[in-house]
């Protein structure tokens, strides 16, 4: 039987999710996928349960109440918000809407691994730009722009490095990116960092009005603990929003998910509690990992990347943790063969991780 799949698909290296099981172990501590240790907010669970009674009806195709709730919280125009089944769906639709065979899509060397997948899906060439000290380099990105560039993906903060570009550096990019190139700024982890965690980080939702080629994506999978519900949203100019509405499925966000998303966005207690916990245990993990002799990459999201310096030490650390039932993330597929990434878990999980991480050999 010949392979009937579209040739573009054959270039795609499938996305590798964080490991979730250890053979022979029933209970594991999963710190491999940057998920919330608190689960879904109770308020959102109740709203989802209530929505189940009407789940025989199709959802609101325009997710209007959800968009209005998001717009109110972030002082945005609800008409310029598009919701998706996770931000992954929106990242993919943006490639579909704005690039095709023969075009180029710029991503950075240690950027989120979905970006090259999105490029290949539409037959575009991912142009992988070098970073400096595990941080995206605005000058290198600008230099990589060619006549064929249609889109630039950048996560801020980035996964798996946790590094970010400052407000000024994003400004430098926005000033240099030609208006015909779409700039997709992926703010999946912004909630952990916005509003002053560090002085020079800012969300760029508010810059969309000034830059019609900027689109900012957000997710409910991180601080809102709703990875399994599949909900993300983006904010862009009417031109971008129009393209996404044409491409998306009419019922791409279920009624249960919409109800949960409204409740979670209004639950400021949960948001504030999650942020405070994350700040405390991000510091705790950084300190403990450093004490064990590893070099960490200072991060502002909900995970810490650390360098084991050799592949043998990386494997030893990963194996030792797995023997204690703790799963963290190998990041060799991100061109980081000696690093590991650990997600901020509950207090107990963070302590167990710290106690079981072996000392780094010299």
What is the contact surface with ligand PLP in residues (CB under 6 A)? 34, 86-88, 112, 155, 159, 186, 188, 219, 221, 227, 232
Nearest-approach distance from CB 257 to ligand PLP, in angstroms:
12
What does the alpha-carbon distance between residue 179 and residue 132 come to, in Å, rounded to a whole number? 26
What does the alpha-carbon distance between residue 208 and residue 215 come to, in Å, rounded to a whole number? 7
Q: Which of 357, 218, 343 minimizes the C-alpha distance to 277?
A: 343
DSSP lists the bridge partners of residue 306 as 296, 340
SS3 of residue 214 by DSSP: strand
Q: Return the number of the residue (87 or 252) whose C-beta is nearest ligand PLP.
A: 87
263 phi and psi, to 5 degrees? Answer: -65, -45
Q: Which of 180, 173, 271, 177 minimizes the C-alpha distance to 218?
A: 271
What does the alpha-carbon distance between residue 281 and residue 343 come to, in Å, rounded to a whole number? 10
Nearest-approach distance from CB 1 to ligand PLP, in angstroms:
33
Task: Collect all residues with Cβ–Cβ distance below 8 Å to 287 and sequence separation of at least 6.
Answer: none
Q: Return the number of the residue (87 or 203) whose C-beta is nearest ligand PLP.
A: 87
Q: Return the number of the residue (47 or 93) whose C-beta is nearest ligand PLP.
A: 93
Nearest-approach distance from CB 232 to ligand PLP, in angstroms:
4
Q: Return the number of the residue (95 or 313) whose C-beta is nearest ligand PLP.
A: 95
For the chain, how many helices (H) and strands (E)? 12, 15
Nearest-approach distance from CB 310 to ligand PLP, in angstroms:
26
Nearest-approach distance from CB 113 to ligand PLP, in angstroms:
9
Q: Return the number of the residue (84 or 138) whose C-beta is nearest ligand PLP.
A: 84
- What burial class does residue 75 get, using C-beta atoms within 10 Å of its C-beta: 0-12 exposed, 13-18 middle, 19+ buried? exposed
Task: Determine contact, residues 88/135, Cβ cutoff 8 Å.
Answer: no
What does the radius of gyration of the chain's CA atoms come to, in whole angstroms? 20
How many residues are listed for the chain in this entry? 362
Q: Return the number of the residue (150 or 230) whose C-beta is nearest ligand PLP.
A: 230
What does the alpha-carbon distance between residue 184 and residue 337 come to, in Å, rounded to a whole number? 27
Nearest-approach distance from CB 227 to ligand PLP, in angstroms:
5
Q: Return the number of the residue (18 or 293) whose C-beta is nearest ligand PLP.
A: 18
Nearest-approach distance from CB 360 to ligand PLP, in angstroms:
26
Q: Return the number of the residue (232 or 345) whose C-beta is nearest ligand PLP.
A: 232
Task: Collect all residues with Cβ–Cβ distance below 8 Å to 129 and sequence separation of at least 6.
Answer: 106, 107, 108, 109, 136, 137, 140, 141, 144
Q: Which of 206, 246, 203, 253 minimizes the C-alpha distance to 98?
A: 246
- Give the nearest residue (CB) to ligand PLP: 86
Nearest-approach distance from CB 19 to ligand PLP, in angstroms:
14
As given in the structure block, the two tokens for residue 40 are 């879904």
Task: Determine contact, residues 163/136, Cβ cutoff 8 Å.
Answer: yes
Nearest-approach distance from CB 328 to ligand PLP, in angstroms:
14
Task: Determine contact, residues 122/100, Cβ cutoff 8 Å.
Answer: yes
Q: Return the number of the residue (230 or 288) whose C-beta is nearest ligand PLP.
A: 230
């Amino acid at each position: 039987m010949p392979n009937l799949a579209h040739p573009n698909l054959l270039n795609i290296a499938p996305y590798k999710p964080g490991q979730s099981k250890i053979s022979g172990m029933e209970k594991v501590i999963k710190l491999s996928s940057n998920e919330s240790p608190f689960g879904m907010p109770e308020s959102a669970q109740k709203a989802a349960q209530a929505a189940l009674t009407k789940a025989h009806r199709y959802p609101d195709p325009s997710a209007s109440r959800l968009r209005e709730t998001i717009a109110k919280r972030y002082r945005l125009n609800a008409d310029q918000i598009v919701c998706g089944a996770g931000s992954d769906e929106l990242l993919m639709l943006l490639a579909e809407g704005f690039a095709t065979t023969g075009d180029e899509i710029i991503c950075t060397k240690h950027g989120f691994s979905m970006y090259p997948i999105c490029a290949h899906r539409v037959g575009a060439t991912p142009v992988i730009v070098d970073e400096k000290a595990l941080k995206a380099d605005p000058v290198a990105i600008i230099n990589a722009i060619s006549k064929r560039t249609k889109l630039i993906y950048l996560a801020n903060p980035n996964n798996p490095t946790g590094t970010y570009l400052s407000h000024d550096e994003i400004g430098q990019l926005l000033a240099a990116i030609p208006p015909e190139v779409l700039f997709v700024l992926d703010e999946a982890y912004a909630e952990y960092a916005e509003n002053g965690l560090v002085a020079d980080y800012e969300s760029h939702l508010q810059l969309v009005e000034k830059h019609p080629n900027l689109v900012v994506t957000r997710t409910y999978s991180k601080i809102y603990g709703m990875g399994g519900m599949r909900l993300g949203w983006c904010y862009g100019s009417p031109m971008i929003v129009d393209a996404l509405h044409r491409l998306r499925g009419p019922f791409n966000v279920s009624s249960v998910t919409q109800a949960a998303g409204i409740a979670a966005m209004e639950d400021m207690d949960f948001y504030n509690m999650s942020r405070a916990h994350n700040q405390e245990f991000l510091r705790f993990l950084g300190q403990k990992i450093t004490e064990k002799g590893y070099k960490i990459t200072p991060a502002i999201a909900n995970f810490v990347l650390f360098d084991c310096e050799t592949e043998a030490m990386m494997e030893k650390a990963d194996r030792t943790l797995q023997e204690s039932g703790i799963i963290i993330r190998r990041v060799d597929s991100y061109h980081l063969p000696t690093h590991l990434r650990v997600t901020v878990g509950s207090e107990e999980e963070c302590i167990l991780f710290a106690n079981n991480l072996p000392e780094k050999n010299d």
